[in-house]
Amino acid sequence: MMFPMRLIRLRFLVLTILFMTQGGARVGATSVPDAASMLQHDMQHELGVRQMRPRQTQRAMALTVDVLDQANGWPQDAEIVLVVDRAPTVQLMWFVLADTAAHQLTPLGMVAVSTGRPGRKEHFRTPVGIFVNDGQIYGYRALGTKNEHGIRGNGEKGMRVWDFGWQTTEDWRRKGSVAVVRLEMHATDPTFLESRLGQADSEGCIRIPARVNSFIDRHGLLDRQLDLIAQTDPQKARGVRALLGAEHVPTVLEGDRVIVIDTSDPQAPLSDPAQAQKIQADFAQFLAASNTAGQSSPAAQSPSAPPSAGPRPIAQLPSRPQPAVAYVPPPSPTGQRPAVPPTPVVPRPVPTLPPAQQSQPAPVSPPPSVGTPQPVVQPPGPASPPDDRPPRPPMRIVPLPPSPGDAPAPAPQESAPEQQAGSG
């Protein structure tokens, strides 16, 4: 009796395993459309997405397929991708189910966004291309702080900011040129700027409504790679989970990419991240070289030093007292005035004369000296006995003729501040 009961139990176990396997296969076959239907229902309930424009949606999906084919950017499995049309008259974002096996895009909902507005200072076109949140840059959450204009640029505190790194885009300031921008997707100020979504208004990033930001964050629509890191990399798992938060419940269709198109310019060049990194590296080297050259220059090391006149460097002379009048040496015993030395003469106080022979000359500033730092001093001649010396006329003040090397150095000029290119 014991053997038949064991056999019955074994057959029942085999049938149970077979039933569960077939049931799991059926669930797996219907999980994608069911998950898409559930996600679309949640979007309608939480976001109140706009009714899609058939013609505009069809044009956007066709151009998105071309971009995916051109860049070989189709995901490996079926997942949600976000499609943004930066055309000035569109400014919309679609939640799209990308089915790689069927080579098909199915739009689930549509919301208004804002992309770059060219023509203004520090404003650039939003780059076109496929931007993957691959986990190399985690992004961050907004602090909710206000700038000097009282604007919370990234939205309220806790709003998610997705960072896609440096990207290239057309430079509207110079035809045929390329600009480098830091592409992010984030919320915007709920009081002053969210009502302006639907028109080109940003500096180059993608602005989305706060409720859309929370929806994407909570369902993990761009966190496929981050969730994989949290499950497989123990060293990074803690930081990733702290970023995702406790309310993070990803859908089975979670994705990792944003696709930006321009239906008004289908031939717009795609972003080149490698070129953007090279431009940034070259610019950083240029700034480092400029700072090194500025610190090693004499003007940067000694701002008060006079500039050099001519090709030869001029040593800085020690400071000397400035007399009220220029000094004229007394006559020599022969009555002849000594010749003016070729080097500058160091002025010294005028000898005291009797009151009757003193004159009041106008002050004359001494000539500038830019020669050797150790000038030769002309010694005065011997004085005659005061009792036997005949009276002489009042002393005249004669300025010394400037020597050829005593031309005054030009006044220092302030260098114009170095202008650094912005990144947008």
Contacts of residues 283-286 at CB distance under 8 Å and 24 or more positions apart, as own/partner, are: 283/421
Q: What is the mean pLDDT of residues 234-242?
A: 95
pLDDT at 284 over 50: yes
Residues 5-55 have pLDDT tens digits of 655 555 555 444 444 444 333 334 447 889 999 999 999 999 987 788 899
**Mode of pairing for the β-strands spanning 206-207 and 178-186:** parallel
Q: Residue 54: its pLDDT value, please?
A: 92
Establish if 247 belongs to a structural domain.
yes
Q: Please give the model's pTM, rounded to 2 decimal places.
A: 0.65
Establish if 14 belongs to a structural domain.
no
Q: Residue 120: its pLDDT value, please?
A: 87
Among 121-125, 272-276, 319-323, 395-399, whose mean pLDDT is lowest? Answer: 319-323
pLDDT at 384 over 90: no
Q: In what order do the strands lie in the sheet with 92-99?
A: 104-112, 92-99, 79-85, 257-261, 129-132
Establish if 62 belongs to a structural domain.
yes
Backbone angles phi, psi at 395, to 5 degrees: -70, 135
Residues 392-405 have pLDDT tens digits of 555 444 454 554 44
SS3 141: strand
Q: Residue 31: its pLDDT value, please?
A: 73
Contacts of residues 237-242 at CB distance under 8 Å and 24 or more positions apart, as own/partner, are: 239/138, 240/138
- Between the alpha carbon of residue 39 and those of residues 47, 78, 225, the distances in Å are 11, 14, 20
Gap between the Cα atoms of 415 and 299, Å rounded: 10
Banded model confidence at residue 352, pLDDT cuts 50, 70, 90 = low
Cβ atoms of 237 and 231 within 8 Å: the answer is yes
SS3 362: coil
Establish if 231 belongs to a structural domain.
yes
Gap between the Cα atoms of 337 and 342, Å rounded: 15
Higher per-residue pLDDT: 221 or 2: 221
Banded model confidence at residue 361, pLDDT cuts 50, 70, 90 = low
Establish if 298 belongs to a structural domain.
no
Query: What is the DSSP-derived secondary structure letter of residue 197?
Result: T
- Between the alpha carbon of residue 51 and those of residues 44, 56, 110, 113, 259, the distances in Å are 10, 12, 7, 15, 21
Banded model confidence at residue 293, pLDDT cuts 50, 70, 90 = confident
Domain with 115, as residue range(s), is 52-288
Q: Residue 345: its pLDDT value, please?
A: 47
Gap between the Cα atoms of 390 and 398, Å rounded: 22
Establish if 213 belongs to a structural domain.
yes
Establish if 316 belongs to a structural domain.
no
Domain count, the chain: 1
Establish if 409 belongs to a structural domain.
no
What integer best gives the mean pLDDT of the chain?
76
Q: What is the mean pLDDT of residues 409-424?
A: 38
Among 7-21, 251-265, 311-325, whose mean pLDDT is lowest? Answer: 311-325
Say which residue the tokens 């290119």 belong to.
421
Cβ atoms of 150 and 395 within 8 Å: the answer is no
Say which residue the tokens 């966190």 belong to.
223
Contacts of 253 (CB under 8 A, 6+ apart): 32, 35, 36, 39, 78, 79, 80, 97, 221
Higher per-residue pLDDT: 62 or 365: 62
pLDDT at 234 over 90: yes
